Chain A
Amino acid sequence: MSTATEAPTAAPSITPVVVRLKLSLLRNGLRQSGGRRAAFITSAVVALLFAALQLLGLVLLRGHAHIASVAVIGVAVLALGWAVMPLFFPSGDETLDPTRLVMLPLRPRPLVNALLAASLIGIGPLFTVLLLVGCVISVAHGAVALAVAVLALALALLVCVALARTVAAANIRLLTSRKGRDLAVLSGLVIAIGMQVVNFGMQRLGSTDLGRLDPVADVLRWVPPASAVGAVDSASRGSYGVAVAQLALTAAVLAALLAVWGRSLDRLMTSPDSSTLQAVDAPVRKRTREGGGLARLLPSGRTGTVMERSLRYIWRDPKTKAAWATSLAIGLIVPVFNALQGTGTPYFACFAAGMLGIQMYNQFGQDTSAFWMVALTISSPRDAYVELRGRALALLAITLPYATLVTVLTTGLLGEWSRLPEVLGLSFALLGAMLATGAWTSARFPYSIPQEGFKNVAPGQAGLAWISIFGGMVAAALLCSPVIALTIWSNVSATGGSWSRLLLPVGAAYGAGLTLLGLRLAAPRTAARLPEILTAVSKG
């Protein structure tokens, strides 16, 4: 339309409107339930306390020889957090999902500015500001450096927020296409590997002095937004030219991010939802053929049917796939990396069983509201038992060989073959305990897994999820205690060593017994609580 005629009347900036919208969304979200309010206040207090402590620490460390490295790396990690956050917690951005503004006659540029301003509101940005203040103060010496610090703070904050927004916008595009599932898997691996990197980083830090950080920091001080802190440091040292270059680099990256974000917003708002396109021209692939072979290997009746569906979902459902990929990766990485470093013990191999056992938790939540199809075919505790057993068997079909493989690999890498039987026995016992508690909590504490975004708990059900997973894990550990006690005994007592081979059959039998018991206890609960389970898993 003609912008010329509009110009005199229109043109009030939409920024205040969007900022107010964000504020009222926040307020209304809090008004919705007491639990949500409590969660918000708790997380705010914790985050602010943490940030305040960090600020204090950084200010106190001012003048330390390697403080610049710490500050630069700190900001880089912070930025990484902002980049990864929207993948896992879209809720922070959900309040202003740009696709909801599609129908409004808005141009991308003012929209980008307005959304950027709105994203500066919240706990996250406040936390970031506190942290950044600590970082820049810790390296700023002299009036010029302080002036640079103010500029650096603003630039770094904006880069963080813009980074999160850009990733989120790109992410929404991916999510509307089914290719999003690949990203989902990727994000699980990012967490898994990221955790390990942090873990090893901490170990390094603990064993050596901060001076080891300097080479990393020397690179990062040229990577925005850490380059903003680098600029403050350079200014403190008197190299003003370098400081200007670093600030300019940060500003350039900010501009680039805003441009990319604006472009993807533009595309998001003007191109049709890819799901509708796909319905028309997606090539028809024969999918049953691949399943045909699978079905032949599985037992007949409900057991095989349930197993087949569960196994297909592990591969095809992005949420399930991501959870499995994470579990498989962490279950392998933790024991094997530790063994490679020579610091681990073969008992770390139990990690694989533990991680994979988690997949038994919240079985019905994984079904989402499609659980009604299951609920309509369960009319007795027996049906529920077969249903749960089928799911446990599907899980075992992958977990059992995998846990065995990881255990053998770990003990092999450490060269402690004599411990293989007892570690395997312990793994199997743990797996059995996880399956048992998983089945029981699936019936007792089901919760929804939203299919949109990367969140794994529906709002208001986080408490349930925590009870379910952590209560279950503690219970599983307790249930395993007889086998753990036996293992300790066989290692400690003089005659115990010769018995350690027996721990393999004992552990396996104990695990199998626990699983059966867990399924037996879970089945009547499931059968009696079908409507309640359906309600609980339909919130996503």
Chain B
Amino acid sequence: MEGAVAVGTSAVRVQGLWKRFGQQVAVAGIDLELPAGKFVGLVGPNGAGKTTTLSMVTGLLRPDQGAVEIAGHDVWRDPVAVKARIGVLPEGLRLFERLSGRELLSYSGRLRGLPGNEVDRRATQLLDVLDLAGAQHKLVVDYSTGMRKKIGLAAALLHNPEVLFLDEPFEGVDPVSAQTIRGVLERYTASGATVVFSSHVMELVESLCDWVAVMAAGRIRAQGPLAEVRGEAPTLQQAFLELVGARDRDAGSHLDWLGGGSR
């Protein structure tokens, strides 16, 4: 395995990253060091700052403060080196949806400067592997959520990046598509590449990741190999709830009218 090579090298290094939106602090000075060649999960509840963090790490959002390095290159000072090395699947941003799936891949690959026939070759394979071959001539605007995530993933993989950033890649995706995405990602990390993905589904992160960073309220609560973060707790879910300080609220006693048939 390439894991041995990866020891000591970081795919992503984040130092003192801050972002405020008006009064609200979205990311409150986080430090992160994500190892190369690993499947890294960034977990946290909704509103924890995962998307903001990933946007800043990938250069799509300018931080108020802090530094980000990807494979040793500063994201803001050396965009040429960084942008060629990363693939991104953001959450909540559109694609060029009036292109067909194949056109989107062709557009995205050519924009990155790949030769046309190489783009076509890779696009055909990606469309096949991701089960999109049948819908390749349909406009992306008519795609379902799962298909959108898959075409976005294909566009992010097309230029064979070193580090892949995926924001909620399994959100709203049906089990079949999820399994397909999973297969592609596992194969990709096995070749030594790094995947960083965010999610709030603990079971998923637990089953996929070697390395986990837990985020809540704009801060990193824990980071490290999965087993380390999980610690004594039986599941990551339990460990996570303890980390973010969510008590077992006794919801039952207040909702005594709920259920039972009477209105």
Contacts and interface: CB of A to CB of B under 8 A. Distances in A.
A370 B84 contact: no
Interface in A281-331: 282, 284-288, 291, 300-302, 304-306, 308-309, 312-313, 316-317
A279 interface: yes
A24 interface: no
Interface in A356-389: 367-370, 372-380
A538 B60 CA distance: 11
Contacts of B94: 368-370, 451
B47 interface: no
A34 to B, nearest CB: 13
A370 B137 contact: no
A513 to B, nearest CB: 28
Contacts of A368: 94
A534 B96 CA distance: 14
B137 A285 contact: yes
Taking each of A275, A291, A313, A377, which has the highest tally of chain B beta carbons within 10 Å of its own beta carbon?
Answer: A377
Nearest to B110: A305
B60 A376 contact: yes
A94 B86 CA distance: 40
A451 B94 CA distance: 11
B242 interface: no
Contacts of B139: 287, 316
Contact of A370 (B58, B61, B93): B93
A535 B59 CA distance: 12
Contacts of A178: 141-142
B107 A380 contact: no
A530 B90 CA distance: 16
A353 B113 CA distance: 33
Interface in B92-121: 92-100, 102-103, 107-108, 110-113, 116
A531 B62 contact: yes
Contacts of A379: 79-80, 82-84
A239 interface: no
A532 interface: yes
Given A285-B137, A300-B116, A375-B60, A312 B111 contact: no
Interface string A251-292: 000000000000000000000000100110010111110010
Interface in B193-241: none
Nearest to B80: A379
Interface in B156-175: none
Interface in B51-99: 58-62, 79-80, 82-84, 86, 88, 90, 92-99
A305 B60 CA distance: 22
A25 B108 CA distance: 41
A197 B49 CA distance: 54
Given A309-B107, A379-B84, A372 B60 contact: yes
Contacts of B137: 284-288
A382 to B, nearest CB: 10
B93 A372 contact: yes
Interface in A525-540: 530-532, 534-535, 538
Contact of A287 (B62, B84, B100, B107): B100
A380 B110 contact: no
Given A309-B99, A370-B95, A284 B138 contact: yes
B70 to A, nearest CB: 13
Taking each of B58, B59, B82, B143, which has the highest tally of chain A beta carbons within 10 Å of its own beta carbon?
Answer: B59
Interface residues of A, number: 43
A535 B93 contact: no
Contact of B107 (A282, A285, A308, A376): A308
A367 B90 CA distance: 16
Contact of A302 (B95, B98, B110): B110
Contacts of B144: 279
Contact of B79 (A279, A374, A380, A535): A380
B96 A373 contact: yes
A374 B59 contact: no
A278 B140 CA distance: 12
Interface string A91-122: 00000000000000000000000000000000
Interface string B134-151: 110111011110000000
B60 A531 contact: yes
Contacts of B36: none
A537 B112 CA distance: 22
B155 interface: yes
Contacts of B97: 370
Given A317-B98, A367-B96, A370-B94, A531 B59 contact: yes
Contacts of A372: 60, 88, 90, 93
Contacts of B107: 305, 308-309, 373
A280 B163 CA distance: 34
Given A287-B137, A373-B155, A530 B59 contact: yes
Nearest to B90: A372
B93 A538 contact: yes
A309 B141 CA distance: 15
B62 A312 contact: no
B103 A312 contact: yes
Interface string A44-62: 0000000000000000000
A373 B155 CA distance: 9
Given A302-B111, A308-B107, 7 more contacts: A178-B141, A287-B103, A376-B58, A376-B59, A376-B83, A380-B79, A532-B62
22 contacts: A284-B137, A285-B137, A287-B100, A288-B100, A302-B113, A305-B110, A305-B111, A306-B111, A309-B107, A317-B98, A370-B93, A370-B96, A373-B95, A375-B60, A376-B59, A376-B60, A377-B113, A380-B79, A531-B62, A534-B60, A534-B61, A538-B93
Interface of B: 58-62, 79-80, 82-84, 86, 88, 90, 92-100, 102-103, 107-108, 110-113, 116, 134-135, 137-139, 141-144, 155
Interface of A: 178, 275, 278-279, 282, 284-288, 291, 300-302, 304-306, 308-309, 312-313, 316-317, 367-370, 372-380, 451, 530-532, 534-535, 538
In order of increasing CB-CB distance, the 3 nearest A-B pairs are: A305-B110, A379-B79, A316-B98
